[in-house]
């Protein structure tokens, strides 16, 4: 009896994509997955909107009349001074949520499943941070509407205002990589939330966001002026045409737009590298 061997035709292997193309495609898939998840849990978005709205109302109407901005204690002046700080605080506080989300994926073993797939190593984190950026942009839009209702106005035209919002989103995206690193470094989502807020409070409050930094003690004023958060706040005030333009001689306060871009790019470069390295070794 003769043995008949049937050899199945070999399928042509798909042409491999380049590293950058694969990373972009995988990142967009992960981002879509996270956006779908957010849409199915609307309370995540709702609670993210409530906090900044509360800050606007509380700071505007509780502290507005007692703040001295450029020699004026007019609450309307303070509201316009305040909003750049509230916008910046909103995009940075989203960092805690990003860290908690990644820590939750780690806790449930989802990160391990992603690591077993033939996908770019940084795609999981990039997709997550992009999805958080979309949620942050939605929050900023709603917050801007609320700010307009309480009396905030822009005075330098729409193009410059768009530039200011772009700087805010760039800062938020940069800080989300810090949240990603924290989320990969802790064991529970609760720890990621706490760890994300511990460092955010001094960063946002030791700045020019809520008070004029010139009224601080000299050493604290120096820290506030070189704070990356302060650079973005100052840049937004200039682009919005709001009061509070600093007379400081510190370089970030003299060139806040450039300082904001440089700080954000440096933070992304450093913490994305650290987060991807941590992701590769995380278990």
Which residue has 């409050």 as its token pair? 205
* CA dist., res. 170 & res. 262, Å (int): 11
Q: In this structure, are residues 209 and 84 in contact, taking their beta carbons and an 8 Å threshold?
A: yes
**The pLDDT of residue 153:** 87
Query: Is the Cβ–Cβ distance between 221 and 131 less than 8 Å?
Result: no
What confidence tens digit (pLDDT) does each residue in 91-134 have? 998 887 778 878 887 777 777 777 777 777 778 888 888 888 98
101 belongs to a structural domain: yes
pTM of the predicted protein model: 0.84
DSSP code string of 59-85: IIIIIGGG--BTTB--HHHHHHHHHHH
Q: Give the residue-averaged pLDDT of 133-143.
A: 89
12 inside domain? no
Those residues whose C-beta lies under 8 Å from the C-beta of residue 153, and which sit 6 or more positions away, are: 80
- Domain assignment present for residue 102? The answer is yes
Neighbours of 49 (CB within 10 A): 17
Asked, for residue 60, whether it belongs to a domain, the answer is: yes
Domain that holds residue 93: 21-65+72-281
Q: How many domains does the chain have?
A: 1
144-159 tens-digit pLDDT:
988 888 888 888 889 9
In a domain, 5, yes or no: no
Classify residue 3: in a domain, yes or no: no
117 inside domain: yes
Look at residue 14 and tell me if it is in a domain: no
177-230 pLDDT, tens digit per residue, is 998 898 888 878 788 877 778 888 899 989 988 888 888 888 999 999 999 999
């Amino acid at each position: 009896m003769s043995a008949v061997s049937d050899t199945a035709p070999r399928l042509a292997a798909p042409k491999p994509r380049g590293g950058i193309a694969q990373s972009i495609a995988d990142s967009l898939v992960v981002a879509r997955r996270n956006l779908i998840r957010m849409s199915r849990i609307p309370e995540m978005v709702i609670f993210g909107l409530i906090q900044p709205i509360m800050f606007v109302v509380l700071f505007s109407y509780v502290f507005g009349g007692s703040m001295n901005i450029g020699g004026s204690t007019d609450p309307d002046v303070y509201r316009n001074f305040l909003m750049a700080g509230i916008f910046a605080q909103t995009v940075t506080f989203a960092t805690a949520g990003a860290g908690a989300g990644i820590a939750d994926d780690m806790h449930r073993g989802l990160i391990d499943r992603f690591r077993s797939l033939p996908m770019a190593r940084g795609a999981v984190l990039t997709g997550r941070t992009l999805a958080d950026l979309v949620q942050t942009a939605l929050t900023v839009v709603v917050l801007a509407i609320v700010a307009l209702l309480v009396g905030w106005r822009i005075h330098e035209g729409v193009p410059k205002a768009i530039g200011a919002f772009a700087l805010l989103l760039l800062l938020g995206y940069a800080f989300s990589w810090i949240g990603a690193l924290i989320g990969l470094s802790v064991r529970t989502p609760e720890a990621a939330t706490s760890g994300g807020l511990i460092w955010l409070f001094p960063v946002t409050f030791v700045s020019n966001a809520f008070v004029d930094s010139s009224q601080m003690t000299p050493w604290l004023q120096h820290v506030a002026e070189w704070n990356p958060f302060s650079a973005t706040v100052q840049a937004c005030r200039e682009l919005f045409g709001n009061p509070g333009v600093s007379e400081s001689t510190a370089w970030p306060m003299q060139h806040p737009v450039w300082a904001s871009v440089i700080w954000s790019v440096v933070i992304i470069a450093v913490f994305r590298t650290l987060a991807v390295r941590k992701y590769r070794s995380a278990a």
